[in-house]
Each structure stands twice: as structure tokens, then as C-alpha cells.
């Protein structure tokens, strides 16, 4: 009772500390941040709205000026009218030159318009005027100009250039806003580089979009970051201007900076105190508990909780933990023996399900030979059958070596081929280091029997190929055993059911039993797949994990402990 009075409830103290910390944060940081955010947002919204309005008016004025200029030229310029038809090269050049001399004054209103083009399709003359401010290095700018000229020329020639309104086009990764008018074969084309317009925005992100929301140029904030931006929009000449400005202004007043600094200092001090408190009274004891549980999961049941907590709850956990370990250690060996006994019984039951298949098939074959009077074949059959039955009827045998299993597969195939026009053939390729590897008895024999039953064809001999080899995958050693035949393969539905591990229709219980018996022997890492080869025929592959030397020694020691009782 004296010990209980000295201890206290950790939940009460943690609740008290966290409540005080929460109140401190709300009072010192919450109000300041809310005020700063509101003031900053109001100021930034006003500035962004002014900037976007100015940008919109400027761009709209220049687009109107450009459209008015090229439209008036189409209506009133005799030179442009002549260029719309084929004429002498000299006259066409003079008319083009005269029109081109007016381009510079048309673009003098500003730099938003990237270029102005004159293209006479009948005379194959292209003249252009570019804004003085062009982004990028001279070589890149020249390449972009060349690509733009070639693209516009090809669109005019292909009759794909829109001459009704401002239209967006992408050229060499750059988004342009293009207005084209023409008089027969003479075209005037005004071009605005929207990407360059977006790059000139310094305080935020500028984007151009269509009225339906499709982004043309620039960037928008990510969906999750949109709440951190002030979003403004404006529309002109079929373009929607979107302007995004970060909603936080870093230029705070000195007084607000001081208040925030005091608040942050107080919060850091409170957090340091909470961390110290929790580490001393909660984290360290829990770390010791976790370490003990890890040692238990590794098989060390001798560990006990030996820390001395000052908290009432952790003291109760410690006592319950030690009591639980005593119970587990007492029951462990008994439960392990019960598990082994259950697995042995299930293995025996599955094995008994397989044996009747062999008996019935062999009796049918002997009967057929006797009915046809093939005495020599019957004698040969009896020798093969006696060897086969001696292997099959060994009820004490739970596992067998890979060498013996493949030998009896060949014996079975030879026995099955007696009296057949095309006797089946079994080819075996097994690595020398795997000859003595243990398998559940009749594992491969069941697969060979399944091939004889389902893959035999009347027009050619059946070939069953068994291969076994070692593999190394991701640092682990595996044994790959493959059984394939040259039949018609698995039906699609049956193959899907076999690979799902479900019980399948009558005629395939043997394969399901093989899966289950191998899983019991080799553990959850065992895998078995059923596929069809590209050239035809069923393919069954087994992947068997090989335990390393340390795990094998540990398993043997565990069995010895159980045997000693």
C-alpha cells in the first residue's frame, strides 16, 4: 500500500501538461497568426487585383490594336490585294516590302505582341517583324522563330489556320495566341507568345486558359496547395487570365515579429519540458517493454520486465507482462507438440486421398492387357506394377528423395505405355546437389499421372519432362521443380482455379492435394503455379525455399527439445 501511494496516474499529468501547452499555443500564436494572415491577405489581394487589371487592359489594348491593324490592311491595302493573287516577282516583292515597313509602327505599342507576319501564298513570300524583347539565348530564339515561320506557312498551305478569331496553337513546346486574316492568298498573322507573358510575372503565377477551363500556358498550383494562394481571374478576347499569389506576406511589422518570437520561444520551452517529462516517465519504460517483446518474438522466453516505473499504470503492465510470460513458457512445448501432431494427421489424410487413383488406373490397365491376351506384356506389367505398388503402399513413408520420386515417375510412365501405340516418355533432369532433397511422397508421381490422364493424344506420344534446379532470388535460395508435357494444356477456367488455390472440379483433386501437402511440409513461402507453354502443353512449377544453416540448426534444436519433453 505504501508503494501505491507514491505512484500517480500518468494520464492525469499528461492531460494537464498538454492542456496547458494547448492554451499557451492558442493564446500566443493563434491570435497573432490570424491577424497577420488577414492583413497580409487583404494587402496582397488588392495588389494582385491591381496588377491583373493592368495586365489585362494592356494585353487587351494591344490585341485590339493588332486586330484593327491587320483587318484594316485586308480591307484597304491595294498592295495586300495584289499579293492575294499571282503577279510578277518584282511587283510582289515591292508590295511586300511596303507592307512590311508598317509592321514596326503597328508593334510599337508594346512587347506583348511577339511577331507580325505577311505571307503571300501565290508568290511564296514570307516577311515578319518581331518584338525587340525575346526570351532565351540568341540561338534558341532564332530556332523558335524558324519553327514558328515554318509552322504558320504549313498551316496556311494545308488550310488549317483559323481566320475567324484569336486561336491557340502550340509550336515547339511554346503556346501562342494567333489571329490571322487574309485576302484570298495573302495572309496577315499576329502572334502573341503566351508562355513569355507568363514568365514575366514575378510575384506570383500567371496562367492563360480557355473559357472552358483548359490550361493553355503557365502553371497552376497543385490541387492540395490551392488554399495557400490568392486566386484572381480576368477575361479578354477569348482568353482567361488566372493569377495566383501566395497568401502569406513575409514582410511583417517589427511588433508582430517580436510577438511571434516570444510565442515561438514559449512553445519551444513547453515542448522541451513535455519531451523531457514523457521520455523520463513514459518513453524509457515503454522502450524497455518493446525491447523485451522483440526478444520474446525472437524465441527468448527467459526475458522478464525488470524496470522500476514510477507510474501506477506501467507498474501494472510490468506485473501482468511477467505473469503472461510465465504462462506462455509453461504452455509453449505442449502447444508445439499438438501442432506437429495435427499437421502429421492432415498430411496422412491428404496422402490417403491420392492413393486410390493409382490403384484404380493400374487395375484397369491389367484388365485391358488380360482381355487382349498379351501374356508377355502382362508379365512385364506385373514386374513394373510390383515395384510401383511397393512404393505407393508404403504407408509409413511421409517424404521421399527427389531421386526416388523421379525414378518411380519413369517406372510409372513405362508401365502406362504397355500396349499403347505411342508409349509415353518421361525425361528427367535433376541437379546432382538436389538428388537427396526430400518431397512429400507421390508429389511428382501425381503430376505425371495427371499428364497421362489429361494430355495423352492418339496421334503422337506423350512426353513429360521433369527438371529440378537451384535458384537464388533476392538473397534467398530456392529449388525450382518443373513438370511439363506436350498435351493441350490446362483449360483456362481450371488453370485460374488452380492458381487461386481453391478446390476445383472432379478430376483435379490430386493437384489440389499436392499443393496442400507441400505447403504443410515447406511452409508459407512455398509456391506452386499452373500455366500453359507458348508452344502448347501444361506446365507446373514449384518454388521451394531452402532454409539457411542457422535456421536449420535452430529447427533441429527445437525438435530435440520437444523429443526430450
Domains of the chain by range and CATH? 12-246 (no CATH), 254-310 (no CATH), 333-564 (3.30.565.10)
Range with the poorest average pLDDT among 8-22, 450-464, 506-520: 8-22
Give pLDDT tens digits for 177-190: 999 999 999 999 99
pLDDT for res 328: 74
Q: What is the dihedral of CA 217, 58, 107, 174, to 10 degrees?
A: 0
Q: What is the CA radius of gyration of the chain?
A: 43
Q: Mean pLDDT, to the nearest integer, of 142-163?
A: 89
C-alpha distance across the termini of the chain, in Å: 42
pLDDT for res 393: 66
How far apart (Å, rounded) are the C-alpha atoms in residues 161 and 153?
9
pLDDT for res 340: 52
Range with the poorest average pLDDT among 101-110, 223-232, 234-243, 515-524: 101-110
Average pLDDT, the chain: 79
How far apart (Å, rounded) are the C-alpha atoms in residues 355 and 362?
11
Q: Is residue 1 very low, low, confident or very high in pLDDT (cuts 50, 70, 90)?
A: very low
pLDDT for res 5: 46
Higher pLDDT, 281 or 348: 281
How far apart (Å, rounded) are the C-alpha atoms in residues 107 and 131?
7
Higher pLDDT, 104 or 423: 423
pLDDT for res 511: 82
pLDDT for res 354: 45
Residue 389: half-sphere exposure toward Cβ, Cα within 13 Å: 12
Contacts of 93 (CB under 8 A, 6+ apart): 125
pLDDT for res 385: 77
Higher pLDDT, 364 or 337: 364
160 has pLDDT over 70: yes
Higher pLDDT, 15 or 224: 224
11 has pLDDT over 70: no
Strands 463-473 and 425-430: parallel
3-state class (DSSP) for residue 438:
strand
3-state class (DSSP) for residue 280:
helix
How far apart (Å, rounded) are the C-alpha atoms in residues 336 and 346?
16
Give pLDDT tens digits for 209-246: 998 989 988 888 888 888 778 888 998 888 999 988 88
170 has pLDDT over 50: yes
How far apart (Å, rounded) are the C-alpha atoms in residues 245 and 396?
81
- Angle made by CA atoms 67, 166, 187, in degrees to the nearest 5: 60
pLDDT for res 30: 66
Contacts of 220 (CB under 8 A, 6+ apart): 205, 207, 226, 242, 244
Higher pLDDT, 298 or 557: 298
- Residue with cell string 496556311: 156
How far apart (Å, rounded) are the C-alpha atoms in residues 520 and 77?
93
Higher pLDDT, 367 or 480: 480
Q: Mean pLDDT, to the nearest integer, of 321-341?
A: 66
384 has pLDDT over 80: yes
Q: Mean pLDDT, to the nearest integer, of 541-552?
A: 72
48 has pLDDT over 60: yes
How far apart (Å, rounded) are the C-alpha atoms in residues 383 and 378?
9
Amino acid at each position: 500500500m505504501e508503494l501505491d501511494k507514491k505512484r500517480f496516474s500518468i494520464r492525469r499529468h499528461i492531460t494537464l501538461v498538454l492542456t496547458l501547452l494547448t492554451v499557451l499555443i492558442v493564446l500566443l500564436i493563434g491570435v497573432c497568426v490570424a491577424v497577420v494572415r488577414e492583413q497580409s491577405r487583404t494587402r496582397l489581394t488588392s495588389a494582385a487585383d491591381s496588377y491583373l487589371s493592368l495586365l489585362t487592359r494592356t494585353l487587351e489594348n494591344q490585341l485590339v490594336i493588332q486586330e484593327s491593324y491587320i483587318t484594316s490592311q485586308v480591307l484597304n491595302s491595294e498592295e495586300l490585294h495584289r499579293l492575294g493573287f499571282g503577279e510578277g516577282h518584282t511587283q510582289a516583292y515591292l508590295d511586300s516590302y511596303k507592307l512590311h515597313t508598317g509592321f514596326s509602327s503597328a508593334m510599337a505599342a508594346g512587347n506583348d505582341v511577339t511577331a507580325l507576319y505577311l505571307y503571300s501564298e501565290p508568290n511564296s513570300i514570307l516577311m515578319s517583324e518581331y518584338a525587340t524583347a525575346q526570351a532565351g539565348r540568341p540561338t534558341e530564339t532564332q530556332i523558335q522563330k524558324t519553327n514558328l515561320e515554318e509552322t504558320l506557312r504549313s498551316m496556311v498551305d494545308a488550310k488549317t489556320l483559323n481566320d475567324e478569331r484569336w486561336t491557340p496553337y502550340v509550336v515547339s513546346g511554346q503556346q501562342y495566341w494567333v489571329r490571322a486574316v487574309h485576302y484570298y492568298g495573302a495572309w496577315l498573322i499576329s502572334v502573341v507568345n503566351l508562355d513569355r507573358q507568363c514568365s514575366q510575372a514575378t510575384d506570383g503565377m500567371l496562367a492563360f486558359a480557355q473559357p472552358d477551363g483548359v490550361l493553355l500556358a503557365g502553371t497552376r498550383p497543385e490541387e492540395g496547395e490551392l488554399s495557400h494562394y490568392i486566386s484572381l481571374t480576368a477575361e479578354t478576347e477569348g482568353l482567361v487570365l488566372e493569377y495566383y499569389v501566395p497568401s502569406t506576406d513575409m514582410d511583417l511589422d517589427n511588433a508582430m515579429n517580436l510577438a511571434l518570437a516570444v510565442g515561438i520561444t514559449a512553445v519551444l520551452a513547453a515542448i522541451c519540458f513535455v519531451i523531457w517529462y514523457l521520455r523520463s516517465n513514459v518513453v524509457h519504460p515503454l522502450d524497455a517493454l518493446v525491447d523485451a517483446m522483440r526478444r520474446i518474438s525472437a524465441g527468448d522466453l527467459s526475458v522478464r520486465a525488470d524496470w522500476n516505473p514510477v507510474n501506477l499504470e506501467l507498474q501494472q503492465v510490468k506485473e501482468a507482462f511477467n505473469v503472461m510470460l510465465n504462462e506462455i513458457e509453461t504452455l509453449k512445448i505442449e502447444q508445439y507438440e499438438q501442432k506437429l501432431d495435427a499437421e502429421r494427421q492432415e498430411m496422412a489424410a491428404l496422402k490417403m486421398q491420392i492413393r486410390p487413383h493409382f490403384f484404380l488406373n493400374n487395375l484397369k490397365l491389367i484388365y485391358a492387357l488380360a482381355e487382349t491376351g498379351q501374356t508377355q506384356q502382362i508379365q512385364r506389367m506385373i514386374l513394373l506394377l510390383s515395384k510401383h505398388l511397393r512404393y505407393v503402399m508404403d504407408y509409413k513413408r511421409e517424404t521421399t528423395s527427389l531421386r526416388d520420386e523421379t525414378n518411380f515417375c519413369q517406372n510409372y510412365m513405362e508401365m502406362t505405355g504397355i500396349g499403347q501405340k505411342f508409349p509415353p516418355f518421361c525425361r528427367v533432369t535433376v541437379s546432382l546437389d538436389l538428388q537427396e532433397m526430400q518431397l512429400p511422397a507421390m508429389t511428382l508421381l501425381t503430376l505425371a499421372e495427371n499428364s497421362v490422364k489429361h494430355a495423352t493424344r492418339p496421334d503422337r506420344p506423350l512426353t513429360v519432362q521433369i527438371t529440378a534446379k537451384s535458384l537464388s532470388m533476392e538473397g534467398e535460395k530456392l529449388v525450382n521443380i518443373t513438370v511439363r508435357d506436350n498435351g493441350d494444356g490446362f483449360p483456362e477456367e481450371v488453370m485460374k482455379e488452380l492458381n487461386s488455390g481453391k478446390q476445383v472440379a472432379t478430376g483435379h483433386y490430386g493437384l489440389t492435394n499436392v499443393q496442400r501437402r507441400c505447403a504443410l511440409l515447406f511452409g508459407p513461402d512455398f509456391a506452386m503455379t499452373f500455366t500453359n507453354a507458348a508452344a502448347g502443353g501444361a506446365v507446373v512449377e514449384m518454388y521451394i525455399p531452402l532454409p539457411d544453416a542457422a535456421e536449420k540448426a535452430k529447427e533441429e534444436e527445437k525438435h530435440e527439445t520437444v523429443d526430450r519433453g
